[in-house]
Amino acid sequence: MTTAMPDLEFVTYACENRLATITVNRPDKLNALNDEVMAQIDAAFAHAKADADCGVVILTGAGEKAFVAGADIGELATQTVRGGKAKSLRGQAVLANIENLGKPVIAMINGYAFGGGLELALACHVRTLAAETKIGLPEVGLSIIPGYGGTQRLPRIVGRGRALEMILTGRPISPETALLFGLVNRVAPAAELRATTEKLASAMLGNGPLALAMATEAVLRGSETTLEEGLRIECDLFGIISSTSDMREGLNAFLEKRKPDYTGQ
């Protein structure tokens, strides 16, 4: 049974058939991220982590226009000299919690994803994008730089040259380019985006939850180190997964020609 998350002003959580949806809900400001919104996103992901009924999370934005149009520019404009670094550190910590959730997170980019909005999507494991929208990192146009991990995660996903083009021009890219860059995994018309995203989610939900967590960990930790060290991380995790009931259940279910019944143990 899904436990209810306390009502939050700017973020909603709903879970059905093991698929949770976290929605940033500040549509009058195109879901822009102020400190309160960031704290509530963190709370919603903490809830998803603890919710035994949640196997995969979709992160999206409320309204027709935006996923998240960036960090709240009004709040940035009143920032103190020392506040900038602290804000960046707080935001980075929230995004790290998403990346290390232990459950797959899909960013369903239903509209504008600029600045902190795109950075939020970059911390998710895969991304789907509405065909009518554009995404980008326009920060340098405001004479700031990406501060929620954009300068680090974007080059790791699309390569340094493409990332630098996006960051230094500040120009948005089209869905076709985003797909070509490997920045998003699927593009679909807005009306079909939910169905496309759910198809991707349900392909993940059928798999062993511990295997999903450990495979993600191997990819994330392994891509930050040497091949030799990455292979060691992989075999350590392979050893751990081999000690689980779910691994025996997965293998036995195949041999017995039945659907596996995973317990996450």
Residues noted as catalytic: 119, 139
Choice between 72 and 198, CB closer to ligand COA: 72
DSSP 135: E
Residue ranges of E strands in 138-215: 186-188
Closest distance of CB 74 from ligand COA, Å: 5
Burial annotation 215-244 (CB, 10 A radius, 16+ → b, else e): bbbbeebbeeeeeeebeebbeebeeebeeb
Q: Phi and psi dihedrals of 109, rounded to 5?
A: -85, 95
* Maximum alpha-carbon separation in the chain: 64
Give the CA distances from residue 123 to residues 94, 98, 171, 187, 238, in Å, rounded to whole numbers and listed in that order: 9, 6, 20, 18, 24
3-state secondary structure of 129: strand
Choice between 69 and 123, CB closer to ligand COA: 69
* Cβ neighbours, 10 Å, residue 210: 21
Closest distance of CB 162 from ligand COA, Å: 19
Closest distance of CB 199 from ligand COA, Å: 28
Contacts of 150 (CB under 8 A, 6+ apart): 115, 118, 119, 122, 137, 139, 167
Choice between 75 and 165, CB closer to ligand COA: 75
Closest distance of CB 7 from ligand COA, Å: 23
Cβ–Cβ < 8 Å for 2, 15: yes
Closest distance of CB 165 from ligand COA, Å: 17
Choice between 151 and 202, CB closer to ligand COA: 151
Choice between 28 and 228, CB closer to ligand COA: 28
Residues that bind ligand COA (CB under 6 A): 29-30, 32, 65, 69-74, 112, 114-116, 138-139, 142
Token output for 235: 């075999």
